[in-house]
Structure 1
Amino acid sequence: MRALLQRCLESSVSIMDENEKEYKLKEKIENGFVILLGVCDEDTDEDINKLVDKISKLRVFEDENNKMNLDIYSVNADILLISQFTLYAD
């Protein structure tokens, strides 16, 4: 399992509507994480749990003293999770 994580103030993902030949907004978040996630056949539930635990404990959000000291739960932030199989490309 491979994940690329980026903190964001806002983010969105749009998907091409083949019938109308235009992009349609699929999802939008405010403050939080954008996570590009690549999963392979060998990944297990244990791998998923380990990744979720690690990401949820990252203290990369600022506290009242402008120190990166808060996790995603503490600031009630969002996650935009996007499947990205190309993270396994050679």
Structure 2
Amino acid sequence: MKMKYFVVFALILGVVVILPKLETTYQKATLSNDKGETVQCEVSWTGFGFGETLSDGKYQQCIDDYIDQGYVISRNEKRVEKVGAQLLSL
């Protein structure tokens, strides 16, 4: 019987402590060249919000490839959505 209470308490604690810190980060770079052509490089990742960690090198490689072709970054956007806050508000 005590084990059931412990499991319920652990689940509630997990929802209250861990879930609000969960966030999804979206990053998008728009690059353009002198001919008026534009391209976009995008990446998104989900983490616990304890630090800026982006292990996906494909985003930076995409930007580097277009810069090598003569493009320049015209806009760089970063958006963070708190996944935990969205789930708790349901």
TM-score class, shorter-chain normalisation, is under 0.3
Q: Higher strand proportion, which one? A: 1
Q: TM-score, normalised by structure 2?
A: 0.27
Q: Which protein has greater RCO, CA pairs closer than 8 Å, 6+ apart?
A: 2
Q: Give the structure with higher Rg (CA).
A: 2
Q: Higher helix proportion, which one? A: 2
